[in-house]
C-alpha cells in the first residue's frame, strides 16, 4: 500500500481541499487503488468517496502546475543558468 502526498514531517495532503493532515492513529483515511488517502474532515472524505477519480486527476494536475511554477521561479532567480555551471574567473 502506498501513502500519497507525504512531506518530510510525515504529513499528507488532503486530495479534496489540499490541507496538510497528520498521519496519527485518529486520521480519517480511505484506500483506493491500493493507495491510502488522508483527509482533514469527514466532509472531504465524503466528497472523495463520491468520485475518487476526479480527485486523482486534480491531484495530478496540481502537481504538474506546482512543478511548472517552481521551475519558472527557479529560472527567474538563477537567470536561467544552472548554479553548478557558474564559473568564476
Which residue segment(s) compose the domain that 35 sits in? 2-78
Give the per-residue pLDDT at 60: 66
Q: How far out from the chain centre does Cα 85 lie?
A: 31
Length of the chain: 89
84 in a structural domain: no
- 25 found inside a domain: yes
**Residue 85 counted as domain residue:** no
Backbone angles phi, psi at 35, to 5 degrees: -130, 140
* Domain annotation covers residue 89: no
Structural domain includes residue 56: yes
Q: What is the pTM of this model?
A: 0.55
Considering its fold, how many domains does the chain have in total? Answer: 1
Could you report the per-residue pLDDT of 14-73, keeping only the tens digit for each? 888 888 888 888 889 999 888 899 999 999 999 999 988 887 765 666 677 778 878 888
Q: Could you give the residue ranges of the DSSP H alpha helices within 1-89?
A: 42-50, 52-78
Question: What pLDDT, on a 0 to 100 scale, did the predictor assign at position 42?
Answer: 94
- Quick one: pLDDT band at residue 7, thresholds 50, 70, 90? very low
Amino acid at each position: 500500500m502506498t501513502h500519497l502526498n507525504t512531506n518530510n514531517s510525515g504529513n499528507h495532503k488532503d486530495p479534496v481541499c489540499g490541507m496538510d493532515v497528520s498521519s496519527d492513529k485518529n486520521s480519517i483515511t480511505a484506500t483506493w487503488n491500493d493507495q491510502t488517502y488522508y483527509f482533514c474532515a469527514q466532509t472531504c472524505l465524503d466528497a472523495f468517496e463520491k468520485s475518487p477519480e476526479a480527485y486523482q486527476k486534480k491531484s495530478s494536475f496540481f502537481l504538474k502546475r506546482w512543478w511548472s511554477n517552481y521551475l519558472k521561479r527557479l529560472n527567474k532567480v538563477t537567470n536561467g543558468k544552472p548554479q553548478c555551471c557558474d564559473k568564476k574567473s
